[in-house]
Amino acid sequence: MQRAVIAAVKHGLTVKAVGAGHSFTGIAVAPGVLLELDDLQGLVSADAATGRVTLLAGTRLHRIPGLLAPYGLAMENLGDIDRQSISGAISTGTHGTGAAFGGLATQVVGVTMVTAAGEFLRIDDEHESGLLPAVALGLGALGIIVEVTLQCVPAFVMHAIDEPAPLDDVLETLDERVAGADHFEFYWFPHTDVALTKRQTRLPESTVRRPLPVIGRWIDETLLSNGVYRAVCAAGQVAPAITPPFSRLAVKLTGDREYTERSHRVLIQSRTVRFREMEYALPVENVVPAFQAVRALIARRGWRIEFPIEVRFAAEDDRWLSTAYGRASAYIAVHRYWRADPTEYFGAVEEIMLEFGGRPHWGKLHTLTEETLRDRYPRFGDFVALRDRLDPDRRFANRYLERVLGS
């Protein structure tokens, strides 16, 4: 890795690392040298007493639970997809849900990266600790990450309840629902009046597990939520009129179950239907009016939207470019099937999100530029100054980073 960076710089080339290629934006696109992290996976060290674990940067999230199991540890929180690399997930601001929990970057207590000077830079409690809030969520703009140290927690299980509820009731009682569970989120299929709620309670690892029956889980997650849903999304591109009745049927057939299982088996969902996504973080107090504005928008435009809207929550944190920096946050994510043109829908939703103080997820579609983003992040100028120091010649730049950070 170090030799590759030195060689690229010597030849005047830019260099970018790519993990799993999960991002919807061009954040990892390499106009010069592309470094694949597929072979940079695995556990470097683990300390069961302190809970600190160091992983190679390309380690996929879905491998981490197995690597941590012998030490009785788990990641504190996860998003609902586990295909990303750990370095890609933290660098783009991947998050889960839970009002008391931050995104994955908040679990980072150490990073080792290769700088544009071709040197290894270690950042942790004892080395350049003041830079950790910047490099833990650095957009790939500061260097090539080679190792990530996480603060993990004792392994735990979760009691999960998925159930439909009247949408208006969920919105009216949202604060209580979020405060009443360790993790809460809901999905809303446009053209329905039902919210599919998901709430989870964290329990000791010794708690008796009651997982979903194998056949029932296969029917719900593989057959209905992915297989049938994929076919209906495809058909909806030809005959949009089928979308509303299918959405109303979907909320009757799915999203009603209760089980207790290991944390990662609850937090992670199986998603095989391809889509495009835009997600914005809002001050938590703005989530209901923003959601209602999107709901009214869809009705007013008469759109047939086949994918649900997802609403999640996160604690405020201190990562300079975190979408939850300095404020308790709620996330509204909108999706379209990959064969549908999302431009008009996403553009109109983005206007609403900006009106309510939104910050876009770095790895998902948005149109903002450095000029707009600078005012939305109090430490934006500090981050750019650090970029000037670590990469003055922009060896880690690409078009996306030029757009969101400036040239």
pLDDT digits (tens, 9 = 90+) for 94-149: 999 999 999 999 999 999 999 999 999 999 999 999 999 999 999 999 999 999 99
More confident residue, 80 or 110: 110
Contact 74, 101 (CB under 8 A): no
Query: Mean of the pLDDT values across residues 342-362?
Result: 98
pLDDT band at 253 (very low <50, low <70, confident <90, very high): confident
More confident residue, 228 or 347: 347
Predicted local distance difference test score (pLDDT) of residue 332:
98
Contact 42, 35 (CB under 8 A): no
Q: pTM to 2 decimals? A: 0.95
| Exposure string for 15-46, b = 16+ CB within 10 A, e = fewer | bbbbbbebbbbebbebeebebebeebbebeeb
Mean pLDDT, the chain, integer = 94
Q: State the fold for domain 156-360.
A: Vanillyl-alcohol Oxidase; Chain A, domain 3 (3.40.462)
Location of structure tokens 């992670």: 268
Predicted local distance difference test score (pLDDT) of residue 242:
86
Does the domain at residues 2-154+368-405 carry the CATH identifier 3.30.465.10?
yes
Predicted local distance difference test score (pLDDT) of residue 21:
84
Query: Mean of the pLDDT values across residues 311-332?
Result: 98
Query: Mean of the pLDDT values across residues 15-40?
Result: 90
Predicted local distance difference test score (pLDDT) of residue 313:
98
Predicted local distance difference test score (pLDDT) of residue 331:
98
Give the span between the Cα atoms of 141 and 389, in whole angstroms.
11
Q: Where in the chain is the domain with CATH 3.30.465.10?
A: 2-154+368-405
> Is 370's pLDDT higher than 80?
yes
Predicted local distance difference test score (pLDDT) of residue 271:
80
